[in-house]
Amino acid sequence: MVKYYTKACNFYFGPDSKKRVEKKLSIPLHGNKFISFDKIEFLTRKNKRVISINKINKLEKKIKKKILLDIRNISKKKLFKGLKFSNLPVLMGVLNLTPNSFSDGGKYLKKNLAVLHAKRLIKDGCGILDIGGEATNPGSRDIKADEEWRRIYPVLSKIKRKFFISLDTRKSFIMKKGVKNKINLVNDVSGLEYDQDTIKVLKNTNIPFVIHHMQGNPRTMQKNPKYKNVILDIYDFFEKKIEYVRSKGIKHNNIILDPGIGFGKNLKHNITILRNISIFHSLGFPVMLGTSRKRFIKSISGVNDSETRLGGTISSNLIAIMQGVQILRVHDVNELNQSIRVFNALKF
């Protein structure tokens, strides 16, 4: 049986987009008239074709039904507990409380420095603060849950409870502790697969969460990762995982999808994801992207690599914005906010 996929493409922005939406020449992305599209790419694993939205009614009934269902998911306004989506993406500021994270490991091990950095990220305009106590970059090894919580709790306890806090962890023990300390989101890079008790915690607490894609684990994920079709394989993973959490009694829609740049992907895989990330909108949930300071930027930039890889981080995130990605996970919140505001002012 042939499986079909729908990807929004040919986007418009700002006043031009709003006029086109009002004239029904384009379709708003997640309910926002200021970003819209007038074509879709209709794919199978063997071929693809681009279709203008005004030609959809001429398609055969089965294909038309599938496309219209996907467009409904793409265009509907995304509602998420504690978050509001607008013309500007929500920035998730990274706070790594680890000695071995790939770009800032060891910088914030002291509580006072970590708290100061958290306050800086908030002041600079992050909408989510993502706190993690275990490194999951390529080659890193697991740590015990007690050690992970020992790193996290002193900082978590000092941050104002009114702020939106994400807990970057794979362990149900840490998740339960976090929920008791009023976190707002669980960000599990394993795709809810590391700990069999994770689903129980998510169901019992009703906490919002990220479904993240990773092939393998941090120790193995970059050892020759392979896909039949990286975009469609990740899409199928998300679809099956959503069906799984529904089957376990998790009915809320406070779910975010992250295709996992650099988590079991080579350079070609990462580039393909970035060029086609709008396909994930048809699953009906907000999409998150984390490219900040990652190794693929070095692979592309060569001799122009830098410590913070800020240029590559900004450019890759602007590509994501042009495809309607709602959440960007970044280290340099102020610089990303600056680039987004200038970009939007010129684009709109």
How far apart are the two ends of the chain, measured CA to CA in Å? 43
Mean pLDDT by 10 residues, the chain (348 residues): 94 94 96 95 95 94 94 94 91 88 56 88 96 88 93 88 91 97 96 97 98 92 94 98 98 97 97 98 97 95 94 97 96 96 84
From residue 340, alpha-carbon distances to 9, 97, 115, 276 in Å are 21, 27, 26, 20
For residue 5, report the phi and psi dihedrals to the nearest 5 degrees: -135, 150
Active site residue 329: yes
Q: How far apart are CA 140 and CA 178, in angstroms?
A: 23
Q: Report the distance separating Cα 181 and Cα 157, nearest Å.
A: 7
Distance CA 200, CA 305 (A): 43
Q: What SS3 string covers the chain?
A: CCCCEEEEEEEEEHHHHHHHHHCCCCEEECCEEEEEEEEEEEECCCCEEEEEHHHHHHCCHHHHHHHHHHHHHHHCCCCECCECCCCCCEEEEEEECCCCCCCCCCCCCCHHHHHHHHHHHHHCCCCEEEEECCCCCCCCCCCCHHHHHHHHHHHHCCCCCCCCEEEECCCHHHHHHHHHCCCCEEEECCCCCCCCCHHHHHHHHCCCEEEECCCCCCCCCCCCCCCCCHHHHHHHHHHHHHHHHHHCCCCCCCEEEECCCCCCCCHHHHHHHHHHHHHHHHHCCCEEECCCCCHHHHHHHHHHCCCCCHHHHHHHHHHHHCCCCCEEEECCHHHHHHHHHHHHHHHC
CB atoms within 10 A of CB 78: 20
Catalytic residue among 7, 78, 294, 295: 294
CATH topology of domain 90-347: TIM Barrel (3.20.20)
Marked catalytic residue, from 170, 171, 309, 329: 329
Q: Which CB contacts under 8 angstroms, 24+ apart, belong to 95-98?
A: 95/121, 95/129, 95/130, 95/131, 95/132, 95/155, 96/132, 96/135, 97/131, 97/132, 97/133, 97/151, 97/152, 97/155, 98/132, 98/133, 98/134, 98/135, 98/151
Please give the backbone phi and psi of residue 211, each rounded to the nearest 5 degrees, phi first. Answer: -95, 110
- So what's the pLDDT on residue 303? 95
**C-alpha–C-alpha distance, residues 40 and 81, integer Å:** 29
Domain locations along the chain: 5-75, 90-347
Q: How far apart are CA 113 and CA 93, in angstroms?
A: 15
Q: Answer yes or no: are the C-beta atoms of 131 and 181 closer than 8 Å.
A: no
Q: What is the pLDDT of residue 112?
A: 81
Task: Report the residue count for the chain.
Answer: 348
294 classed as catalytic: yes
